Amino acid sequence: MTDNTIDQPEDRVPKRVIGTPPATEAVLKDETVHEAAALPGVIYQDPASARKAEKTVALLFLIAFLAGAGFIASYVIFQVGTIDKTSTSNFALGGTLALALLALAAGITTWVRRIMPKYTMIQERHPMASDAETRETVKETFLAGAEESGFVKHGLLRRTLLLAAAPLGLAPLFLLKDLGPLPGTKLRHTVWGEPTKTGKPRRLITEGTGQPIRAADFNSPGGILSVVPEGYEHDLNALAKATLILLKFRPEEIKSGTNLNWTHDGIVAYSKICTHVGCPAALYEQTTHHILCPCHQSTFDAADGAKVVFGPAARPLPQLPIGIDGEGFLIAKADFNVPVGPSFWERGDAEAEAREKAEKA
């Protein structure tokens, strides 16, 4: 794109190549050229090669025309509606558009480089600062205007004006208040703690199939199941906090970090929402019992109360107390005893608080 006078080797050879008429001569020969051509730093191209270049440019412009017409034709000819049709339409439209744009660009570039003169013109540059006289005039004008306005002399006017501006400046902030409700304690609870309409405990539902889980049927040691709360299968706000992962262990595999009272027959439920920034911790490695969050690779030991073994998460995934109802389906016995998901200012050391409570009870 550039023809830098420094970097381009062609400029290092003498400007006048054999067979090339000197610049002044070209001006005289070519009648259509304006007298401005006599300017220093303007070196005309050889008319013969310019005429040759014109053909190249014309060819490129012609290609651009045909491709542009092809774009319009493609729009009319190729319909969308299926994946294959969309793909064909996309290639036809995009291909012709790209060709038209690139041919036009190449044509103009050839025009500039091979038909327009080579320029090394010089323009003067002046310091940005105004001269002292101008600055002095502005200063005097400013002071005179300030004096005339009375803004300096009338202190009461000045102070009441500032006073008047203050509430108007703050008003927009108040208007933003209704953007959302105040947080309250919403981040501390999930729907697992809410009573169901029928008053029965809330069942664990398999994500996707929507089926409740019979404890006796969930027998896949090493497996992991994504679980949502009954009645909130499609409520994204609820799912953002209440989604679980369900795992089954052999009794000897479970370590001290896991609260055995909250398990049922080796089945453990942890919050799926990573305690780092809230991505679903969805990856599970059977051999090591490690739960991995794909976002920032926080790793939790599922056999040991989902404590953090690597990565930026600072807290274990909270465990949900689960049991079974009369029909043998898995249910939540209570809400999480600590807030799930990412940390926030008001959270505090909820784990220590929960421990204290448990000791008192």
Partner 1 sequence: MDTPPKAIAGVSTFLDDRLGAGSFLKRNLRKMFPDHWSFLLGEIALYSFIVLLLTGTFLTFWFKPSMGHVMYDGSYEPLKGIMMSEAYASTLNISFDVRGGLLIRQIHHWAALLFVAGMVVHMLRVFFTGAYRKPRELNWLIGIGLLSLALFEGLTGYSLPDDLLSGAGLRITQGVILSIPLIGTYIQFFLFGGEYPGEDIISRFFTLHILLIPGILLALITAHMILMWVQKHTQMPGKGRTEKNVVGAPFYPAFMAKAGAYFLFTFGVLALLGTFAQINPIWLFGPYTPADISAGSQPDWYMGFLEGSLRLMVPWEINLFGTSGGTIPLSVLIPALVPLGIIMTGLALYPFLEQWVTGDRREHHIADRPRNNAHRTSIGISAVTFYGILWLLGANDEISANFHIGLYETTIFGRFAIFLGPVIAYIITYRVCIGLQRKDAEVVSHGVESGVIKRMPNGEYIEVHTPPADDILAHIRGKKEIPVIESGVDREGIPPKGARSLIGRLRAKMSKAYGTDRIPLEEGHGHGEEHAAVGAGERKEVH
285 binds partner 1 (CB under 8 A): no
The one among 65, 91, 142, 151 contacting partner 1 by CB under 8 A:
91
**H or E stretch at 83:** helix 83-114
Angle between helices 47-77 and 83-114 (to 10 degrees): 170
Q: For residue 336, give both structure tokens.
A: 């999480």
Contacts of partner 1 in 185-224 (CB under 8 A): 186-187, 207
The one among 22, 94, 145, 221 contacting partner 1 by CB under 8 A:
94
114 binds partner 1 (CB under 8 A): no
Compute how many residues bind partner 1; rule: CB under 8 A.
102
* Residue position matching structure tokens 């599922």: 302
Of 30, 179, 191, which is closest to residue 117 (Cα–Cα)? 30
**CB of 264: closest distance to partner 1 in angstroms?**
22
**CB of 9: closest distance to partner 1 in angstroms?**
9
The one among 154, 294, 334, 358 contacting partner 1 by CB under 8 A:
294
The one among 24, 221, 348, 358 contacting partner 1 by CB under 8 A:
348
Contacts of partner 1 in 307-336 (CB under 8 A): 308, 310-315
| DSSP bridge partners of 78 | none
Contacts of partner 1 in 70-89 (CB under 8 A): 75, 78-83, 86, 89
Contacts of partner 1 in 6-35 (CB under 8 A): 6-7, 11-12, 32, 34
The one among 23, 63, 66, 104 contacting partner 1 by CB under 8 A:
104
The one among 24, 49, 120, 130 contacting partner 1 by CB under 8 A:
120
261 binds partner 1 (CB under 8 A): no
Burial class of residue 258 in the structure, from the number of CB atoms within 10 Å of its CB (0-12 exposed, 13-18 middle, 19+ buried):
buried
**CB of 114: closest distance to partner 1 in angstroms?**
12
**Own/partner long-range contacts of 139-147 (Cβ < 8 Å, ≥24 apart):** none
63 binds partner 1 (CB under 8 A): no
Buried b / exposed e along 58-82 (16+ C-beta atoms within 10 A) = eebbebbeebbebbeebeeebeeee
**DSSP code string of 154-209:** -HHHHHHHHHHHHHHHHHHHHHGGGGS---TTGGG--GGGSPPTTSSPPBEEETTT
353 binds partner 1 (CB under 8 A): yes
131 binds partner 1 (CB under 8 A): no
**H or E stretch at 98:** helix 83-114
